Amino acid sequence: MSGAAVPSRPSAGQRLLVTLEVFAAAMLVSAVVVALLGHDPFQTLAAIVAGAFGSQRAIDATLAESVPLVLAGLAVALPMRLGMFNVGAEGQLVLGGLAAGLAAAALPPAVAIPAAVLAAIVVGGAWGAIPGALRAWLGVHEVLSTILLNLIAAPLAALVIRQAWAAEGGQIPQSHVATATLSHLWPALAFGAVLALAYDLWLLRTRTGLAARAVGSAPRAAEVAGMRVSRGIFLAMTIAGAVAGLAGAQQVLDQHGRYVEGFSPGFGFTAIAVALLGRGSGLGVLLAAVAMGALRNGAFAMDALGVAPRESATIVQGVVILVAAVAAARDRSAT
């Protein structure tokens, strides 16, 4: 890669500042939208903040929402730095959770958790490798392939549970209870934070990270410089799938104790907003995940207090996504 010139990039501090600016702009636009709907925007946002951070229980609930968003957000952010858009984090997360649930239920407690985590990494990575290979060597756009794979993932998981495993719990397909579970949220949050910071260090301080940035900025120039772009695309999507699979394993082993159909309320889709809002950096993804987790959790308090319907928080989330997408498009057009 000696002949490749990597375009200058904003520093981590600059990226963080832009993330905060985008989120502040989104909150301002959200306040206007909420006011137009006939609700007091200050009371609405105050209720969201109180519901998300007003007590230790609220903080724990917000962080519980944030952990899978950190991991899934990184699964979207990594391919994004190579010029790809991984819309398939939801399917990768669901099948990773399925693999973790089946492994944790079938194996003895001493090996259940490491085996379940490994199973989630392998299955999520394999599901991410499919669109990676299609893009790298056949030119099939990853947005199309990941959307189609998302449509397959959930019914495939339900079919496996119904036919290959004795379902429990009545109407909802689910695995047997895991023989061992993760009982504490903080280690999972710490792991997500470490992974996010390690991603930043890799991206900014290593040769392969610099190569990834070069591929994302100028893929043809990277090819001319001798970089193996196709291999990088395949590996990025495979690793992204593995990280999304970890998010599924965390939910199954920590929050549910088994695989349950519908255990993800769309974490993989919200992760797209997290990656956009986080500007593709690990620290930005971490902060954006907490912000989106706070919005999701604060919606319940807002509804319970009668300040505004829960749907208002969904509208706020949508505005955040829209503003983040516009900011990302503006950045791409400027480069």
Q: 88 near 150, Cβ under 8 Å?
A: yes
Q: Is the pLDDT of residue 166 over 60?
A: no
| Position with higher pLDDT, 171 vs 3 | 171
Residue 225's CB is within 10 A of a number of other CB atoms, namely 17
Quickly list DSSP for 153-190.
HHHHHHHHHHHHS---STTS-BPPPPSS----HHHHHH
CA 113 – CA 48 distance, rounded (Å): 35
**pLDDT tens column, 192-250:** 999 999 999 998 888 888 888 778 777 777 776 667 888 989 999 999 999 999 999 99
pLDDT over 70 percentage in the chain: 88
Q: Is the pLDDT of residue 264 over 60?
A: yes
**pLDDT tens column, 50-99:** 888 888 888 888 899 999 999 999 999 999 988 899 999 999 999 999 99
Quickly list DSSP for 105-162.
HHS-HHHHHHHHHHHHHHHHHHHHHHHHHHHHHH---HHHHHHHHHHHHHHHHHHHHH
Q: Is the pLDDT of residue 5 over 50?
A: no
Q: For residue 46, which of 236, 307, 329 has the smallest C-alpha distance?
A: 307
User: What pTM did the predictor assign?
Assistant: 0.88
